[in-house]
């Protein structure tokens, strides 16, 4: 499979790497401390996220807590600042503020007072 020339080159490269003068320590990745106010519960259920004007997007709730949820969408798109999220499976029907957003995911923070501009 390997020619003798490529075996020799591989051997030289390995020797060079092992005799490297820089003996830097390999960083150890440790889990970050959980800074959330409420513990999250991992779920996997379908939800609908509605924006002003009644337009909705279907998504998946990845995790949820008393204070918010993380949602993943199938398609790209941006959400406005305030949305309404519904999921009959877990009995969720709340208004939320979009705390952060990436291409397909969004973090929602539940709000107590429902805005008057969004309708049921």
pLDDT per residue over 40-64, tens digit each?
A: 778 899 999 999 888 899 999 999 9
* Least confident stretch, 39-48, 78-87, 102-111: 39-48
- Per DSSP, the three-state class of 30 is coil
Beta strands, E only, 13-104: 41-50, 56-64, 68-73, 82-87, 92-101
Question: What pLDDT, on a 0 to 100 scale, did the predictor assign at position 61?
Answer: 95
Question: What pLDDT, on a 0 to 100 scale, did the predictor assign at position 16?
Answer: 66
Q: Where are the domains of the chain?
A: 41-110
Rounded mean pLDDT, 87-110: 93
Identify the CATH number of the domain defined by range 41-110: 2.40.10.220
């Amino acid at each position: 499979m390997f020619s003798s020339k490529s075996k020799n080159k591989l051997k030289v490269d390995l020797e060079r790497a092992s005799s490297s003068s820089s003996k830097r320590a390999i960083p150890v990745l440790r889990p970050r401390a959980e800074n959330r106010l409420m513990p999250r519960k991992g779920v996997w259920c379908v939800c609908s996220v509605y924006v002003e004007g009644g337009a909705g997007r279907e998504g998946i709730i990845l995790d949820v807590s008393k204070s918010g949820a993380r949602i993943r969408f199938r398609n790209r798109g941006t959400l406005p600042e305030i949305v309404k999220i519904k999921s009959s499976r877990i009995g969720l029907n709340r208004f939320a503020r979009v705390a952060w957003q990436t291409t397909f995911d969004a973090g929602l923070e539940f709000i107590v007072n429902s805005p008057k501009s969004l309708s049921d």
